Amino acid sequence: MKQDRQLDNSALHLLHRAGQCAEVLFANETVRTELTPRQYAILSSVHQNPDISQTGLVEQTGVDRSTLADIVRRLVKKGLLQRKRTRTDARMYAVRLTAKGKSALGSVRPIAAKVDQRILSVLRADQRGDFIESLGEIVKAMSRRVAQS
C-alpha cells in the first residue's frame, strides 16, 4: 500500500493522530478510574482554581461551552465536583472539587505523568522541552485566532 506523503507532512493530521495515540495511552492506564483526558484536565484546572466559573474553565481548558457543561454535569453526578451559583451573578456557576474529586485527581495525576513520560520518551531528551514549548505556542496562538473568528 502506498503511503500518503501529504498526510505525513500535514500538521493537522499529525496533531490529530498524536492526540488519538495519547488518548488511547491515557484510557489504557486509567481504565479503573473511568476518567477521560478532558475530565482530568477539568479536575486539574478546578483544583488550581477553586470556585472557578464554567466560563473560566472553558478559557483554561479549551473545551467548548456545551461539552464542558456536559462534562461538569457528569463529574457532579459522579460526586467529583460540586457546583453552586455565584453570589455576584446568579446565572453563573462556581465549581470546586469534592473530597472524592481530590482523591480521584490525586490518583490520576501520577498516571497522567506516566503517560506524558511515555509520549515524550519517543523524543531525544534534548527535544522534549522544545516540543512542549512548541505545542504551547501553537495552542496559545491558535486559541486567540479561534476566539477572534
CATH class belonging to 5-148? mainly alpha
pLDDT at 85: 82
Which stretches within 62-124 are classed as H helix? 65-77, 99-120
pLDDT tens digits along 128-142: 999 999 999 999 998
Note whether 83 and 76 are within 8 A (CB).
Answer: yes
Taking the chain (149 residues) in runs of 10, the rounded mean pLDDT of each run is 74 93 92 88 96 91 92 96 83 90 95 95 96 94 73
- pTM, two decimals, is 0.84
Burial 90-108 (b: 16+ CB within 10 A, else e): eeebbbbbeeebeebbeeb
In Å, how far are 35, 40, 71, 97, 141 from 112, measured between CA atoms? 11, 9, 19, 18, 25
Domain boundaries, the chain: 5-148
